Amino acid sequence: MTKEYSPFTPGIPVPVEFFVGRNAEVKKLLASVKKSKELKTLERIFVTGERGIGKSSLCKFAIRLAEKDENVLGLHVFLGGVTTMEEMIRKIFERLLNDSIDRPWFDSIKSYLGNRVKQVGMFGITVEFDASNKELKKAVGDFVPALMNLIKHLKKQKSTILLVLDDLNGLANKEHFANWLKSIVDEIGSLREPLPLILVLVGLPDRRNQLVTLQPSLDRVFDIIKINRFDEDETIRFYKNAFAKVGVKVTEDAHNILWRFSGGHPVFMHEIGDTVFQVDKDNVIDEEDAVNGIWLAADIIGNKYIEPNVLSAIKSKKYREILNKIAKGPLGYLFSRKDAVDRLSSEEIKVFDNFIQRMKKLNVIQSATERGHGYYEFTSELYYLFFWMQARAK
């Protein structure tokens, strides 16, 4: 790979070869795969964590290992924009078809799905599941028997299915979906013949809460794998691995800066890595390269994530002014309530506590409990840097 190609992938799941850390989470998921395969059981997992934390990347990596080590059939189905059960079923079968198109068992899949398989695209390399709405509606209710038949068709190649349903935004608020999940778990549990299936749901904590509210039994049905931010060692190892892939070295001082400003957020790690890679000219990332890249990353991250998700949600003029005064300094990344109030007008002081609660809800500011009562900090130094840049520009 030449210098012109960045090893970082902002905004999309990390390539498997760059995946680092998450050892405990990967082991837990693979242990469920192994159990399902050996005991022919249904295993249920909910992978959750904040937006951009690496949930999809973890599942993608686990599927690759499960396919290699346990010879399971892995299906990673992205449901972004899907709001009906029928469309979900279509997505599942289309993923099955397209992931199998160059595999030895593709003919078995085509035979299983019959005349509903339609090749599309200029070169016929993409496959559609061309079922009618009536057929899809029936398939929702017959999902468990369909999986049983699929296993029978693949018995010479695969004996276990790892099904990942990712991005539940459009379905998590649907009572029909919540009840369907509970019903397939109950149905599989009552089968005379075992169905080795690992069902993995992937979504934000709020999505899980929505499902549990709609169907309280789901609270005990799914084991939880929570994805947290990377720690310092994992972050540095990620950067070392990624830059090494393209023959770029990183100094210790630069590594410390990359860790400090990324804060272990995978989405920020990729944005920062990409901008630092672009500003470097000699294949050695030093402190100056890191700082210059972070300035660029702060602007990019602000425009991509902060302005549409945070600033658009802050309607109060007083809230915006408080944020500007905090960010402009000298309060900085970490600040106390007392120091902040000293800089505010009497009208702003009246709404300061409400402002803090709003910022916490938007995941911009959090309590710095280790410093004591009344201390706060930005959830990322990049957030602070972006707000500082905005305030200084006024």
Q: Higher confidence at residue 126 or residue 288?
A: 288
Question: pLDDT tens-digit profile of 226-267?
Answer: 998 888 998 999 899 889 988 999 999 999 999 988 888 888
**Which residues 6+ apart lie within 8 Å of 260 measured at CB?**
381
What pLDDT is recorded for position 46? Answer: 97
Most confident of 118-132, 189-203, 371-385: 189-203
Q: Higher confidence at residue 117 or residue 299?
A: 299
**Which residues 6+ apart lie within 8 Å of 94 measured at CB?**
127, 128, 129
What pLDDT is recorded for position 329? Answer: 67
Lowest mean pLDDT among 197-206, 242-251, 312-321: 312-321
Question: pLDDT tens-digit profile of 142-171?
Answer: 999 999 988 888 888 888 999 999 999 999
Please name each of the domains of the chain with its CATH number.
22-226 (3.40.50.300), 232-309 (1.10.8), 315-393 (1.10.10.10)
**Which residues 6+ apart lie within 8 Å of 95 measured at CB?**
75, 76, 77
pLDDT for 18 beyond 70 = no
> Nearest CA to 108 among 67, 73, 77?
73
Question: pLDDT tens-digit profile of 20-32?
Answer: 778 899 999 999 9
Q: 330 preceded by cis ω (within 30°)?
A: yes
Q: pTM (2 decimals)?
A: 0.77
Number of continuous H segments (helices) and E segments (strands) in the chain: 19, 12
Region 87-92: mean pLDDT is: 93
Q: Is 337 exposed, middle or buried (0-12, 13-18, 19+ CB in 10 A)?
A: middle
pLDDT for 127 beyond 90 = no
Q: What percent of the chain has pLDDT over 70?
A: 93
What pLDDT is recorded for position 225? Answer: 96
Q: How confident is the model at residue 328 (pLDDT cuts 50, 70, 90)?
A: confident
What pLDDT is recorded for position 177? Answer: 96
Eight-state DSSP code of residue 371: G
What pLDDT is recorded for position 124? Answer: 54
**Strands, E, within 134-219: which ranges?**
161-166, 197-203
Eight-state DSSP code of residue 116: G
Question: pLDDT tens-digit profile of 48-79?
Answer: 988 778 899 899 999 999 999 998 999 999 99
What pLDDT is recorded for position 245? Answer: 87
Q: What percent of the chain has pLDDT over 90?
A: 46
SS3 content of the chain, % helix, strand, coil (to 5): 55, 15, 30
What pLDDT is recorded for position 1? Answer: 42
Strands 249-250 and 284-285: parallel
**Which residues 6+ apart lie within 8 Å of 132 measured at CB?**
none
Lowest mean pLDDT among 85-89, 112-116, 173-177: 112-116
Q: How confident is the model at residue 305 (pLDDT cuts 50, 70, 90)?
A: confident
Q: What pairs with residue 335 in β-bridges?
A: 376
Encoded tokens for 264:
């272990």
How would DSSP label each residue in 15-71? PGGG----HHHHHHHHHHHHHHHHHT-EEEEEEE-STTSSHHHHHHHHHHHHHHHT-
What pLDDT is recorded for position 226? Answer: 93
